[in-house]
């Protein structure tokens, strides 16, 4: 009777308003934060904080308002941002068993599908991380294959720099050189810098990093089911990745043709052997699709990050020529001009080592790392974090933490030197992140960056192109990259 009266007294407009109020109430109840949940900007109904930029600069600003642990919400997806050395250490190192899984990020899930290593979870991730670590150790460190490859590649790199007539942008050459060191481990071969097909693959991958950092592409995470049917940067990202994975599939087919399980030449061969061994354990995830994604993981995670670090390194050397001279003096003293740098030299070159560390500290190459999620309810600082909440560590805020660094925003190799010029480690140096999901390729990256940097400064002096303004302000992609610059190289 009462419902009947209510029905009769409501017109169409009132029903719409009632329906909207019902949805609003459902949204509020669904997204209600538990008590003692970290504070954050006020979320809009249904949308949350979807209009908040997700780059590290915006996160630094929000941390100043809400503190070192604050919350955001994209649609219904809750996330926590942690800043500063103490809190990031608490999350990634002290609670290493809790923030260990990757959350579901639709923009990346479409490509990585939770396979491979970087975006996988649970047993699948553990078996792939173990396999990847073993492969890198075997081919990289024990057999010294990696060091020999980097040394060989640095000859090609220096020759390509020398062949440039006049000022040039080093990006393409550095990307090619770095990717070749990883290609040797993955495909057992390097690619010529003029190989058009491979260059196209590198360009596509470079674009992916650029697109993935834009707000427009990240909007896809808010409503993938709808945006799948609309054009936009996310479609370009997917198309690029599909072309890259096609290339990887081709390489795998070629490997299968002459694969000899007793003589693994590279990652693909070793993986094919692992697939045979793990046939009875499908949950370990060793299959062809996962191999494609694993190749993408290594190539992608390693090339853009290490090549960008080198680009920042050369930029800092041009900006601070007196520091460049001191690095060259150390190279001349320890290595000389008659042989190539090797990994063992690093221990005798504290100044160069300190300069490279300072380049990595100040350049913020992967400023927000990759997101993780909590596998159970926990407490972080004074706040309650429910199971399944995404968490991002603002690595940039650690590398610039005023409580940890004497001159946080100034290029100062002294951060990594003792009073008598010896190298000193710093706890807050976390460009490779920390904890169980820390970078798998740290040792490889350190070798690549050291050997290329030392080889380049052994052979050349770097200066800016005429009329070039060198800016230390970078561009925010998924990585943080220097603005394009042109440089001159002078043989020494």
Sites of contact with ligand HEM (CB under 6 A) = 117-118, 129, 182, 297-298, 301-302, 305-306, 309, 365-366, 369-370, 372, 395, 431-433, 437-441, 444-445
Phi and psi, residue 194, nearest 5°: -105, 10
Phi (first) and psi of residue 390, to 5 degrees: -75, 145
Tell me the closest approach of the beta carbon of residue 133 to ligand HEM, in angstroms: 9
Smallest distance, ligand HEM to C-beta of residue 266, A: 13
**Tokens at residue 386, please?**
């429910």
- Which residue is closest to ligand HEM by CB? 441
Q: Which is nearer to ligand HEM, 227 or 316 (CB)?
A: 316
Q: CA-to-CA distance for 302 and 313, rounded, in angstroms? A: 16
27 vs 346, beta carbon nearer ligand HEM: 346
**Of 463, 475, 460, 361, nearest in space to 154 by CA:** 460
Q: Which residues pair with 423 in a beta bridge?
A: 417
Select 47 or 472, whichever has its Cβ closest to ligand HEM: 472
Sequence-distant (≥ 6) Cβ neighbours of residue 72 within 8 angstroms: 40, 41, 43, 48, 49, 52, 54, 62, 78, 79, 80, 81
Contacts of 247 (CB under 8 A, 6+ apart): 197, 201
**In the numeric block, which tokens belong to residue 249?**
């599939």
Choice between 227 and 291, CB closer to ligand HEM: 291
CB of 9 to ligand HEM, least distance (A): 57
Least separation in angstroms between residue 401's CB and ligand HEM is 16
Judged by beta carbon, residue 247 or residue 312, the one nearer ligand HEM is: 312
Relative orientation angle of helices 171-187 and 442-459, to the nearest 10 degrees: 130
For 461, the enclosing helix (H) or strand (E) is: strand 460-464
Closest distance to ligand HEM from the beta carbon of 305 (Å): 3
Give me the least distance between CB of 473 and ligand HEM, in Å please. Answer: 19
Are 370 and 102 in contact by the 8 Å Cβ rule? The answer is: yes
Closest CB to ligand HEM among residues 43, 479: 479
Nearer to ligand HEM, 264 or 302 (CB): 302
Min dist CB 464 to ligand HEM, Å, is 24
CB-neighbour burial class of residue 156 (10 A; exposed 0-12, middle 13-18, buried 19+): middle
């Amino acid at each position: 009777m009462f419902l009947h009266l209510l029905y009769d007294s409501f017109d169409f407009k009132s029903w719409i308003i009632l329906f909207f109020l019902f949805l609003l109430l459902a949204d509020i109840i669904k997204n209600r934060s538990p008590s003692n949940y970290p504070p954050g900007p006020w979320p809009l109904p249904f949308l949350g904080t979807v209009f908040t930029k997700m780059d590290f600069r915006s996160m630094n600003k929000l941390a100043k308002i809400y503190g070192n642990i604050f919350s955001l919400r994209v649609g219904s997806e809750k996330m926590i941002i942690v800043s500063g050395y103490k809190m990031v250490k608490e999350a990634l190192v002290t609670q290493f068993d809790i923030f260990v899984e990757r959350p579901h990020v639709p923009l990346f899930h479409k490509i990585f599908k939770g396979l491979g290593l970087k975006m996988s979870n649970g047993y699948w991730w553990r078996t792939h991380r173990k396999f990847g670590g073993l492969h890198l150790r075997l081919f990289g460190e024990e057999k010294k294959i990696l060091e020999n490859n980097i040394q060989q590649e640095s000859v090609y790199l220096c020759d390509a720099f020398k062949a440039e007539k006049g000022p040039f942008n080093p990006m393409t050459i550095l990307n090619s050189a770095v990717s070749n060191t990883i290609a040797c481990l993955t495909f057992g071969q390097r690619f010529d810098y003029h190989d058009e097909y491979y260059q196209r693959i590198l360009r596509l991958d470079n674009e992916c990093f650029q697109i993935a950092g834009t707000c427009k592409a990240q909007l896809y995470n808010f409503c993938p089911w709808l945006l799948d049917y609309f054009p936009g940067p996310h479609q370009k990202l997917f198309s690029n990745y599909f072309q890259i994975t096609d290339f990887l599939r081709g390489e795998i087919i070629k490997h299968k043709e002459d694969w000899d399980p007793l003589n693994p030449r590279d990652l693909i061969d070793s993986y094919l052997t692992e697939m045979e061994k793990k046939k009875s354990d499908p949950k370990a995830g060793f299959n062809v699709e996962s191999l494609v994604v694993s190749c993408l993981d290594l190539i992608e995670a390693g090339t853009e990050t290490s090549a960008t670090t080198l680009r920042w390194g050369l930029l800092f050397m041009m900006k601070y020529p007196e520091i460049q001279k001191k690095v060259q003096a150390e190279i001349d003293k320890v290595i000389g001009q008659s042989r190539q740098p090797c990994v063992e030299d690093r221990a005798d070159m504290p100044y160069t080592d300190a300069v490279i560390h300072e380049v990595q500290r100040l350049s913020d190459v992967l400023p927000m790392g990759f997101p993780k999620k909590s596998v159970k309810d926990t407490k972080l600082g004074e706040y309650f974090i429910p199971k399944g909440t995404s968490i991002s560590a603002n690595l940039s805020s650690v590398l610039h933490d005023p409580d940890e660094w004497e001159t946080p925003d100034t290029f100062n190799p002294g951060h990594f030197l003792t009073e008598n010029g010896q190298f000193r480690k710093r706890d807050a140096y976390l460009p490779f992140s920390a904890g169980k999901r820390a970078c798998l390729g740290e040792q490889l990256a350190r070798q690549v960056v050291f050997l290329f940097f030392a080889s380049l400064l052994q052979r050349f002096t770097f200066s800016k192109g005429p009329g070039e303004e060198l800016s230390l302000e970078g561009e925010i992609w998924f990585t943080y990259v220097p603005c394009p610059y042109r440089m001159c190289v002078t043989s020494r």
